Structures are given as structure tokens and as C-alpha cells.
Amino acid sequence: SAVISQKPSRDICQRGTSLTIQCQVDSQVTMMFWYRQQPGQSLTLIATANQGSEATYESGFVIDKFPISRPNLTFSTLTVSNMSPEDSSIYLCSVVFGTSSTDTQYFGPGTRLTVL
């Protein structure tokens, strides 16, 4: 399986600031996703990162708050903008390598964000 890395692994930020999280895969992937996992909660999909075009956001998430880039098939960034303590969470990127309904998602190690 491929190696998925995320930077930073964790950060503590002040409210009102922004943080950009990077996701790098060592091989080309079909799909890249960004999730949020708040304490005691399951995974919530933020958006699908589309290569060369605007991301597709899920209900409740907007581009101004979570701008996403995906310049190529192995790299994506998620920015958490104008942060508040409610944004404290683990942010995970995930990738899919195929297009079949049985192709699975593989997750990066996550970025643990604390907003003060």
C-alpha cells in the first residue's frame, strides 16, 4: 500500500488565525478526501479534493472556511481559516486508488489541531 503523510502532525493555534495542512501520497491516487473527527465523534467528510478544479464541499462546509487545493494527483492542502475553538479536531486526509465500489479508502496519520 502507498505511504500517506500529513504535515503538521499537530498544532496549537490562536483563534482568528489560519492553518494549512498538507497531505502527500507517494503514488498517484484517484480520489482524495478531507475529514474531520471531533472528540468522541465519527468521521465527517468535509470535501472531495478535485485535481485541477474546485473542491466539492459537503453540507455545512464552505470554501471560505476550508479552502482546499489539489494541484496534482499526489498532493492536497486543506486550510482551516479564521479558526475558533470549535475547530479543534483531528483532520484526516484519505485516498482511493481505484474507481470500483469495492476500492477502499486509506487514511493519512491525521493532524491534531487545538485552537485556543
Using CB under 8 A, list all residues that contact other proteins.
31, 33, 41-43, 45, 48, 56, 92, 96, 99, 101-110
CA distance 27 to 24: 9
Q: Which three cell numbers stand for residue 89?
A: 479536531
Kindly tell me which of 33 and 66 has the beta carbon lying closer to other proteins: 33
Kindly tell me which of 4 and 115 has the beta carbon lying closer to other proteins: 4
Kindly tell me which of 61 and 106 has the beta carbon lying closer to other proteins: 106
| Torsion sign across C-alpha atoms 8, 86, 41, 60 | negative
Let me know: does 66 contact 7? Beta carbons within 8 Å. Answer: no
Q: Which three cell numbers stand for residue 91?
A: 483532520
Q: Least CB distance from residue 49 to other proteins, whole Å?
A: 11
Kindly tell me which of 80 and 95 has the beta carbon lying closer to other proteins: 95
Closest-CA residue to 23 (of 7, 44, 39): 7
Q: Least CB distance from residue 98 to other proteins, whole Å?
A: 9
Q: Least CB distance from residue 35 to other proteins, whole Å?
A: 8
CA–CA distance from 12 to each of 41, 43, 108 (Å)?
20, 21, 19
Q: Least CB distance from residue 43 to other proteins, whole Å?
A: 4
